[in-house]
Amino acid sequence: MSEHKELVIGLFGFGVVGEGLYKVLQQTPSLKAVIKKVCIKHPGKKRNAPEDLFTTDRNALLNDREINLIVEVIDDAKAGFEIVSTALKNGKDVVSSSKKMIAENLKELLRLQQETGGSLLYESSACASIPVIRNLEEYYDNDLLHSIRGIINGSTNFILTKIFEEHLAFKDALLLAQQLGFAESDPTLDVEGIDALNKLTILLLHAYGILVRPEQLLFNGIQNIAKSDAQVARSRGQQIKLVAQAQKLINGGVGAYVLPQFVAPESPLAFVKNEYNGVVIESGFADQQFFYGKGAGSFPTASAVLSDISALRYSYRYEYKKLYHHKPHQLNDDIYLKVFVSFTDLAYIPKEAFEWIEEWHAQESRKYLSGVIALQKLKEQSWWKENGTSLIVEADGIIEDIEERKLKKKSLELAGLL
Ligand SMILES: NC(=O)C1=CN([C@@H]2O[C@H](COP(=O)(O)OP(=O)(O)OC[C@H]3O[C@@H](n4cnc5c(N)ncnc54)[C@H](OP(=O)(O)O)[C@@H]3O)[C@@H](O)[C@H]2O)C=CC1
Ligand SMILES: N[C@@H](CC=O)C(=O)O
């Protein structure tokens, strides 16, 4: 049996995640992983750890030969990438939780791992405590993965829960998410859906071997959801959640987006509240599986970082099998979404953009419609994110082939039933 590696850690970042990891490691001595030095940005801050542990000199960690593992948990994607790439080039393994840094540099990070032979693990970067990446990588190592649908941002789920169930104001709910360490340093990343987008970018690689830049995917956050949208959801017995979805299509491609979505009461996602995340995976033969756990916060995130550290003792590395060993899938935008749109003025809505409109209420001060629109149109246009317009995908939102539905609708019209 191979020996477990002893790990000497250089830690970058001592904020919510970094300090959490420091405490967790103190409670897991059997792991034989010790933090030798911590690099931070602001030397003046009071720290709950011995002063001589800290430095602001990144090279003190990166050039230390005794340090064989760099753990990067900082909130600066540019500096994070410099640190991670130098660490790999210097022959060190790396664990990171920085999803923005990872999603924006995936291609280069893959190249660096191949070139240096180093291992970069980042389980905590998607859904914090839920081991979703390693499951996609190892368990769903075949062609049977139909779809992933999940709540993958804790802060927005926390905010939606507080607003709609506890009647908090948006800004108070956001402040609470920040105080509890759930939100990003720049909380617009959470609120505007960018954090979930970065996570979906990472998940697409491990689920389907799809290597895309985050900006290639359709996304929005929760910033435009109106009170009246919540009333509509309530009247239907549904909820509104920020949902990330990737689905294998009949044409072999994969449709993907991050958008607010109505969630039916029978969906496992309906039970996911506060900072919890939930991911429903559908695959051939197994049908549905549901992963649930804390998606943000100090100890939940540190526990996933710890699991990566532990995996490195056995020299674990991602093999990116779907990309390198299978035929990778391609992103495909050739789908239609059934959407609910609420707005203040008809002038903001290009009706001609829709394939068809099923329902239309223009009397009230907040007006709304339900219709079907091509995902590509939403990517090309921005009206649905502007002027206080709110777009929410229906619970069964993806339509692959509209021709059959168009025909059915036409015959209902001819029969005088529509
Ligand atoms: N909070 C969460 O629930 C989760 C966070 N993440 C990710 O983990 C990372 C860290 O998040 P979090 O701990 O919440 O962030 P915090 O803002 O709490 O902490 C950030 C830390 O990074 C340090 N830092 C910033 N820039 C540098 C730099 N150039 N060199 C060295 N240190 C630097 C800061 O130093 P100083 O203390 O001196 O200011 C601070 O200690 C982020 O990328 C985030 O997206 C991932 C999953 C969950
Ligand atoms: N800000 C993120 C933190 C974890 O990834 C979130 O709210 O999900």
Residue 215 has which token pair?
Answer: 């900006």
Report if residue 387 sits inside a domain.
Answer: yes
| pLDDT, averaged across the chain | 94
Name the residue at shortest CA distance from atom 43 of ligand 1.
Answer: 98
How confident is the model at residue 1, as a pLDDT? 47
Ligand 1 interacting residues, C-beta cut-off 6 A = 12-18, 39-42, 45, 73-76, 79, 97-99, 124-125, 128, 181-182, 184-185, 296-297, 301
Cβ–Cβ < 8 Å for 105, 83: no
User: Of 297, 22, 36, whose CA–CA distance to 155 is shortest?
Assistant: 297
Whether the pLDDT of residue 413 is over 80: the answer is no
Name the residue at shortest CA distance from atom 28 of ligand 1.
Answer: 41
How confident is the model at residue 2, as a pLDDT? 54
Per-residue model confidence as pLDDT tens digits over 124-141: 999 999 999 999 999 987
* Last-in-domain residue among 125, 148, 179: 125
How confident is the model at residue 4, as a pLDDT? 72
CATH number at residue 57: 3.40.50.720
Global pTM? 0.96
Is residue 349 very low, low, confident or very high in pLDDT (cuts 50, 70, 90)?
very high
- 74 CA distance to ligand 1 middle (Å): 3
* Last-in-domain residue among 125, 140, 172: 125
Query: How far, in Å, CA of 266 to CA of 348, rounded?
Result: 34
Whether the pLDDT of residue 94 is over 80: the answer is yes
Report if residue 48 sits inside a domain.
Answer: yes
Q: Where are the alpha helices (DSSP H) in 314-361?
A: 321-324
Residue 43 has which token pair?
Answer: 């030397």
Residue 8 has which token pair?
Answer: 């000497």
- 409 CA distance to ligand 1 middle (Å): 53
Q: Domain residues for 78?
A: 7-125
The tally of domains found in the chain comes to 2
75 lines ligand 2 (CB under 6 A): no
* Last-in-domain residue among 65, 90, 125: 125
Strands (E), 198-331: 218-219, 239-248, 254-263, 276-283, 287-294
Per-residue model confidence as pLDDT tens digits over 205-260: 999 999 999 999 999 999 999 999 999 999 999 999 999 999 999 989 999 999 99
Per-residue model confidence as pLDDT tens digits over 73-88: 999 999 999 999 999 9
Q: Of residues 66 and 5, which shows the higher confidence score?
A: 66
Report if residue 398 sits inside a domain.
Answer: yes
- 277 CA distance to ligand 2 middle (Å): 10
Residues 345-358, mean pLDDT to the nearest whole number? 94
Is this complex scored with an ipTM above 0.85? yes
- 213 CA distance to ligand 1 middle (Å): 23
Which residues neighbour 362 within 8 Å (Cβ) at sequence distance 6 or greater? 346
Report if residue 216 sits inside a domain.
Answer: no
Location of structure tokens 């960690």:
61
CATH number at residue 367: 3.30.70
- By DSSP bridging, strand 254-263 and strand 287-294 are unpaired
Burial of 276 (0-12, 13-18, 19+ CB in 10 A): buried
* Ligand 1 atom closest to residue 74's alpha carbon, by position in its atom list: 22
Beta bridge partners of 371: 339, 357
